[in-house]
């Protein structure tokens, strides 16, 4: 009610956007990663973080990192909604390719207003996901939960439907596009070489091998819920990798 998005400028919105995405894993966003994502020096980011904290948009613990306040989250989700709606629009209406839209959406997301956002949403048919599969926050600022899991955290043999290619790297996206690895594609995980090695996937047409780093950004909705997966020893896998550092533990119990 107090701080409204119209009164904030590009820089602020981009910071909030970045912080939101970097802290989605539960960990606060660090000064360094924020600076990296925004292309400024850590000093610059540090100064700006303090300013945002003064404005009660972020919760800052010096030397530890930043999280958004509820205010900050609201604004970040608004910007993220605009970004993702724009991406849909840019592909659907303007004929851009999916690896081109992020940069344009980034430039536009901070200058469009509510009227424009609403118009885009209407024209594109109120989509719930962006072209890469990220969930679009609703108009009233809710980010719906989805059952997406990392392909590489599924057991070998698992199959499902790609829901999201979770990267903003245009080159990677172009490559994924060429391979047909995009939302709605069916995939089966064939093998993962140990210690971050190559990942082999099959689609109805192909067998594809990717580096681990690349494969890691593929999110799927598995045919069987994660709960049903059973490890060789007969124990169910942990549902989320969130609370622990890695998705897999290679040592028993």
C-alpha triplet 128, 129, 133: angle, nearest 5°: 155
CA distance 122 to 37: 31
Of positions 19, 65, 74, 173, contacts DNA by CB under 7 A: 65
Residues forming the site for a second copy (CB under 8 A): 93-96, 100, 104, 107-108, 111-113, 115-116, 119-120, 123
Which of a second copy, DNA, none does residue 79 bind to, with CB < 5 to 8 Å depending on kind? none
Environment class of 171 (CB within 10 Å of its CB; exposed 0-12, middle 13-18, buried 19+): exposed
Count the Cβ atoms, other than its own, within 10 Å of residue 167.
Answer: 18
Q: CB nearer to a second copy: give 113 or 223.
A: 113
- Strand 186-192 versus strand 199-202 pairing type: antiparallel
User: Which CB atom, from 11 or from 53, has the smaller least distance to a second copy?
Assistant: 11
49 interacts with, out of a second copy, DNA, none, CB within 5 to 8 A per kind: DNA
Q: Which does 119 bind (CB under 5 to 8 A by kind): DNA, a second copy, none?
A: a second copy
Q: How far apart are CA 195 and CA 145, in angstroms?
A: 30
Cβ-contact 18, 38 below 8 angstroms: yes
Nearest Cα to 218, choosing from 236, 200, 193?
200
Among 4, 24, 27, 41, binds DNA (CB under 7 A): 41
Q: Which does 123 bind (CB under 5 to 8 A by kind): a second copy, DNA, none?
A: a second copy
Instruction: Spell out, one character per residue from 86 to 115, where the chain touches DNA: x when CB under 7 A holds, - when not.
Output: ------------------------------
- The answer to whether 85 and 127 are in contact (CB under 8 A) is yes
Rounded CA Rg of the chain: 19
Residue 120 or 199: the one with the smaller Cβ distance to a second copy is 120
27 binding DNA? (CB under 7 A): no
In the three-class reduction of DSSP (H, G, I as helix; E, B as strand; rest coil), residue 146 is classed as coil
**In angstroms, what is the minimal distance from the CB of 112 to a second copy?**
7
Instruction: Name which of residues 43 to 62 contact DNA (CB under 7 A).
Output: 43-51, 60, 62
Give the bridge partners for 29, in sequence order. 66
Shortest reach from residue 65's CB to DNA, in Å: 6
The tokens of 186 are what?
């069916």
Using CB distances below 5 to 8 A depending on partner kind, what does residue 40 bind out of a second copy, DNA, none? DNA
- Chain residues that interact with DNA, rule: CB under 7 A: 9, 11-12, 30-33, 38-51, 60, 62-65
């Amino acid at each position: 009610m107090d701080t409204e998005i119209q009164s904030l400028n590009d820089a602020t919105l981009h910071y909030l956007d970045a912080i939101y995405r970097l802290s989605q894993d539960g960990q606060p966003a660090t000064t360094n990663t924020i600076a990296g994502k925004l292309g400024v020096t850590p000093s610059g980011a540090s100064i700006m973080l303090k300013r945002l904290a003064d404005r009660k948009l972020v919760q800052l613990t010096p030397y530890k990192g930043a999280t958004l306040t509820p205010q900050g989250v609201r604004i970040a989700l608004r910007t993220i909604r605009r970004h993702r709606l724009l991406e849909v629009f840019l592909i659907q209406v303007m004929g851009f390719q999916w690896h081109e839209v992020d940069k344009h959406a980034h430039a536009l997301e901070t200058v469009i207003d509510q009227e424009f956002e609403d118009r885009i949403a209407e024209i594109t048919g109120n989509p719930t996901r962006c072209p890469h599969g990220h969930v679009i926050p609703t108009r009233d600022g809710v980010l719906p939960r989805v059952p997406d899991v990392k392909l590489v955290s599924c057991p070998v043999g698992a199959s499902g439907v790609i829901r999201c290619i979770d990267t903003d790297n245009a080159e990677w996206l172009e490559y994924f596009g060429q391979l047909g690895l995009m939302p709605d594609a069916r995939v089966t995980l064939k093998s993962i070489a140990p210690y971050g090695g190559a990942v082999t996937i099959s689609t109805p047409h192909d067998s594809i091998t990717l580096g681990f780093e690349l494969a890691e950004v593929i999110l799927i909705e598995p045919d069987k819920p994660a709960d049903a997966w059973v490890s060789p020893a007969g124990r169910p896998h942990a549902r989320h990798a969130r609370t622990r550092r890695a998705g897999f533990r290679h040592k028993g119990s």
